[in-house]
Amino acid sequence: DILHSLESFANNPRYGKVLREHDETLDWIWHSRKDKTKESCPGFVEWLKNDKGIFWISGKPGAGKSTLMKYIHENITTMKLLTRRKEKPPVLVSFFFHDLGTPSEKTFSGLLHALLHQLLEQCPNLLPDILPRFQRLRRKLPCRSDAAGLWSETELQGAFLDIQQSDYDVKFLFLVDGLDECGENQSDMIRFLKKLSTRKTGSHPQFKVLCSGRPEIGIEFNTGDISSLAVQDYTSPDITKFARDSFNEACKTLLPVNPQPSENVGSW
């Protein structure tokens, strides 16, 4: 069936390898511009609530982009802010690129396979919308024993556009990390994400795309009305807290719990 034809690409091992945030860090992402007491307001809260399609998170190597993306993915605040009254619950799907991983972890095709599988698994009501395309592919390649080989990049993109034109009125959040680690067809991928996130009038699905990568990839996003932030502009307090906590923890392991009198002799 359709899900079976996609499932060999469904795993995304990179996600599990991304480090989680240090305690009490990254909460600046939830600062709203309405809160005058907050100095750093990146605009992410406003983007979750509005109808704009793409939010671009850039950052230098090691700035913490993937950790921030994982934090957003796992924090319940994301879905709370995304949900509007009287709307269907939004659907979150994600993909983390990995340039040192398997081919499916670093290609545009791998991204499309994984996102489509997650989307259909969570929203089986959408299966009829791409069933005609799947049946046509089956007729075209009736002897294909490898079901995963049915889907080309073109057909996968077509399946998403079929869903975009459907009457299933729901909001999708696509979270895509590490665009610069996609080893091929980066320009095609960005064009597709921009096209998918273009708001359609009427009762159709809305696709919002949160993506991250190194600054040079963002050049292709710098057209139109796209919200963005640079991670390193906000993480200075987080780095300070991490360094202080790490130092304090190290001191606990170096100093004895019940130190004896030193008789005026230094211990170092």
Q: What is the pTM of this model?
A: 0.87
Domain 2-250 class in CATH: alpha beta
**CA separation for the pair 101, 241 (Å, rounded):** 32
Q: How confident is the model at residue 265 (pLDDT cuts 50, 70, 90)?
A: very low
pLDDT score recorded for residue 148: 57
Across 122-144, b (16+ Cβ under 10 Å) vs e yields ebeebeebbeebbeebeeeeeee
Higher pLDDT, residue 220 or 121: 121
Answer with the residue of higher pLDDT: 198 or 26. 26
Given a cut of 50, is residue 263 above it in pLDDT?
no
Taking residues 102-117, report their average pLDDT. 93
Residues 169-182 as b/e (b if ≥16 CB within 10 A, e otherwise) read ebbbbbbbbbbbbb
CA distances (Å), 133 to each of 126, 148, 151, 158, 256, in order? 13, 14, 10, 8, 69
Residue type at position 150: L
Q: What is the pLDDT of residue 87?
A: 80
The domains of the chain are located at 2-250
More confident of the two residues 38 and 116: 116
268: pLDDT confidence band, cut at 50, 70 and 90? Answer: very low
What confidence tens digit (pLDDT) does each residue in 137-196 have? 988 876 655 565 789 999 999 999 999 999 888 999 999 999 999 988 888 999 999 999
Please check whether residue 215 is in contact with residue 67, taking contact to mean a CB–CB distance below 8 angstroms.
Answer: no
**In this predicted structure, what is the pLDDT of residue 41?**
86
Q: Are 81 and 46 in contact (CB under 8 A)?
A: no
Q: What is the CB-side half-sphere exposure of residue 152 using CA atoms within 13 A? A: 7
pLDDT digits (tens, 9 = 90+) for 237-255: 888 887 887 877 788 777 6
- The beta-carbon contacts of 70-74 under 8 Å, at least 24 apart in sequence, are 70/15, 70/18, 70/20, 70/21, 70/96, 70/177, 71/20, 71/21, 71/26, 71/29, 72/29, 72/44, 72/175, 72/210, 73/15, 73/175, 74/20
